[in-house]
Chains A and B, each alone.
Chain A
């Protein structure tokens, strides 16, 4: 069984690439898949922290590329799940330390032993981005429902389409449904209107994400987290299942809903 190499990128920084990589990896591994994550953000590594594996780093991706360590030596096994591994980035080097063909070689070496290779991308469109796109079979693009994130994501889609790795699939992250309803936040339709690529997941804004990042326990392990559930749905869709998008409405209690019904409505006139 040879692995599918999936690169998770965005253009814009801070939209949730690392969170998505960690959570999708955990969700796939929990479903019995053999998963290895690569942190492609050389110099500003975060995937190890978010997965709670930073204390166990001995060798990293640059050590492997420069021949100081074998691939297996750099792989950290996540003890919470049967077949989940991480190859961390180097923190003391930068993106020039690794080349696109280095990444292709590493992924080819990993393919026979795993079902999924997930690569966390750095922000930007320069060398680091090109390194992580070079080996990809599928590119997932993470964006937030805001104009600047969508602008950057559009650039990314253009670049990967040009290199014939397109069109990619979209993860719309940090959606606050109440703000969308008020018209204060872009809706999914607004975002797809510009990006026009297939949608693989919508992740609601969820406080649990920050907590879980700090604890090193991705929210996809937590049944109570709605974002975690949305990431688990993405994992299922990656495996080919048809999963309906979950409702992002708040789960108001029965009494609150009743109170909202009985409250007098403001007069609405046509506009």
Chain B
């Protein structure tokens, strides 16, 4: 039983790592039982949970968070290699990484992948990103849905929103000045490509599809047109 769970003290509190083996229901029961064994040690603790490659949905994470809350333990981060789990944690407002010691890891998550390869990967989000959601990826990000004000998308590559982009978008986050941001309605609160930054002018008339990119050192947006030049 004890090799399923490892507990370590870190600067931000406790880091609990659970193994990949076994169903989530059983593992979470074992974890709670372990905490109950030494309840006083855990009371008032801030806990970061590392789950490896496990895929856990938001409802299960929410239940665990509530169960930990009942024991006076506050879950503040869930670390995982699984995009489902990371997404779920994010949706609940939990951290998905420990604070980095080097500043450069802030904008794009470090992965042990060849940077060139990572840049060509794309992640597809098939729902609207509501306020408070953040999607970060080293490659391209495609959203089928809206990006609401208060939501953000940070991509090492391009960003394509098949919907309304009204939040914050940062493309070329690791410095690629050729990255583009496209949206059916390009009205971000803030738009960044590489290290340039721009805001939207007030919208006139109905929204039309646009692509934003750096031209002559500045971010400019061009309407999509059937007669457009091939790139």
**Residues of chain A whose beta carbon lies under 8 Å from any beta carbon of chain B:** 99-102, 125, 127, 130, 134, 147, 151-152, 154-155, 157-159, 161-164, 194, 196
List chain A residues, Cβ under 8 A from B128. 196
Quick one: closest A residue to B44, CB to CB?
Answer: A96
Residue of B nearest to A162 (CB): B91
Specify which chain B residues have a CB less than 8 angstroms from the CB of A155 in the assembled complex. Answer: 130-132, 150
Q: Are A163 and B132 in contact (CB under 8 A)?
A: no
Please determine whether A158 and B91 come into contact, CB atoms closer than 8 angstroms: yes
Q: Is B139 an interface residue (CB 8 A)?
A: no
Q: In this assembly, does B59 line the interface, its C-beta being within 8 Å of a C-beta of chain A?
A: yes
> Is the beta-carbon distance between B69 and A100 smaller than 8 angstroms?
yes
Nearest B residue to A196 via CB reads: B128
Nearest chain-B residue to A99 (Cβ)?
A: B70
Chain A to chain B contacts (Cβ below 8 Å), 12 pairs: A99-B66, A99-B69, A151-B150, A154-B130, A154-B132, A159-B92, A159-B93, A162-B59, A194-B148, A194-B149, A194-B166, A196-B128
A29 shortest CB reach to chain B, Å: 31
The yes or no answer to B62 lying at the interface (CB within 8 A) is: yes
- Contact indicator A162/B92 (Cβ below 8 Å): yes
Q: How large is the interface on B (under 10, 10 to 19, 20 to 34, 35 or more residues)?
A: 20 to 34
* Chain A hits for B133, CB < 8 A: 158
Partner among B70, B92, B131 whose Cβ is within 8 Å of the Cβ of A100: B70
- In this complex, what residue of B is CB-closest to A104? B66
**Is B132 in contact with A158, judged by CB distance below 8 angstroms?**
yes
A163 and B62 form a contact (CB under 8 A): yes
**Distance in Å: Cβ of A242 to nearest Cβ of chain B:** 28
Say yes or no: is B58 at the interface (Cβ < 8 Å to chain A). yes
Q: Is the CB of B92 within 8 A of A152?
A: no
Q: Which parts of B42-74 form the interface with A (CB within 8 Å)?
A: 58-59, 62, 65-67, 69-70
A158 B70 Cβ-Cβ under 8 A: no
Instruction: Tell me which of B70, B128, B131, B150 has the highest count of chain A C-beta atoms within 10 A of its own C-beta.
Output: B131
Task: Find chain B residues with CB under 8 A from A154 CB.
Answer: 130-132, 148-150
Residues of B contacting A157 with CB < 8 Å? 130
Complex Cα gap A66–B180 (Å): 57
Q: With A99-B69, A130-B66 as given contacts, are A158 and B131 in contact (CB-CB < 8 Å)?
A: yes
B88 at the interface (CB under 8 A from A): yes
Question: What separation, in Å, do the CA atoms of A10 and B70 have in the docked complex?
Answer: 24
Q: In the complex, what distance in Å separates the CA atom of A163 from the CA atom of B133? A: 14
Overall SS of chain A's interface: helix
- Complex A-B, nearest 6 residue pairs according to Cβ-Cβ distance, in ascending order: A158-B130, A162-B91, A154-B131, A100-B66, A162-B58, A155-B132
Residue pair B70, A101 in contact (C-beta under 8 Å)? yes
Residue in contact with B59 in the complex, picked from A130, A147, A164, A194, CB distance below 8 Å: A164
- Taken together as a complex, chains A and B put the C-alpha atoms of A155 and B93 apart, in Å, by 10
Q: How far, in whole Å, are A84 and B110 apart by their CA atoms in the complex?
A: 56
Q: Cα distance A18–B131 when bound, in Å?
A: 24
Please encode chain B, from 150 to 178, with 1 for each CB lying within 8 Å of some chain A CB and 0 for all others.
10000000000000001000000000000
Q: How far is the CA of A154 from the CA of B150 in the complex (A)?
A: 9
- Cβ contacts under 8 Å, B166 to chain A: 194
Given known contacts A151-B150, A154-B131, what 16 new A-B pairs fall within 8 Å (CB)?
A99-B69, A102-B70, A130-B69, A151-B149, A154-B132, A154-B148, A154-B149, A155-B150, A157-B130, A158-B133, A161-B91, A162-B92, A163-B59, A163-B62, A163-B92, A164-B59
Report the bound CA distance from A99 to B70 in whole Å: 5
A100 nearest in chain B by CB position:
B66
Given A125-B93, A159-B92, A164–B130 Cβ distance below 8 Å?
Answer: no
8 Å CB interface, B1-35 against A: none
Q: What CA separation (Å) do A259 and B92 show in the bound complex?
A: 56
> CA separation between A127 and B74, bound complex, in Å?
10
Q: Nearest-CB distance from B218 to chain A (Å)?
A: 28
CA distance A194 to B67 in the complex (A): 33
Check A163–B130 contact: CB distance below 8 A: no
Question: Bound complex: CA of A162 vs CA of B132, how far in Å?
Answer: 12
> Given B66, B93, B130, which contacts A134 in the complex, CB threshold below 8 Å?
B66
Contact A151 B131 (CB under 8 A): yes
Distance in Å: Cβ of B66 to nearest Cβ of chain A = 4
Give A266 to B150 CA distance when docked, in angstroms. 40
Chain A residues whose C-beta falls within 8 Å of the C-beta of B65 in the assembled complex: 130
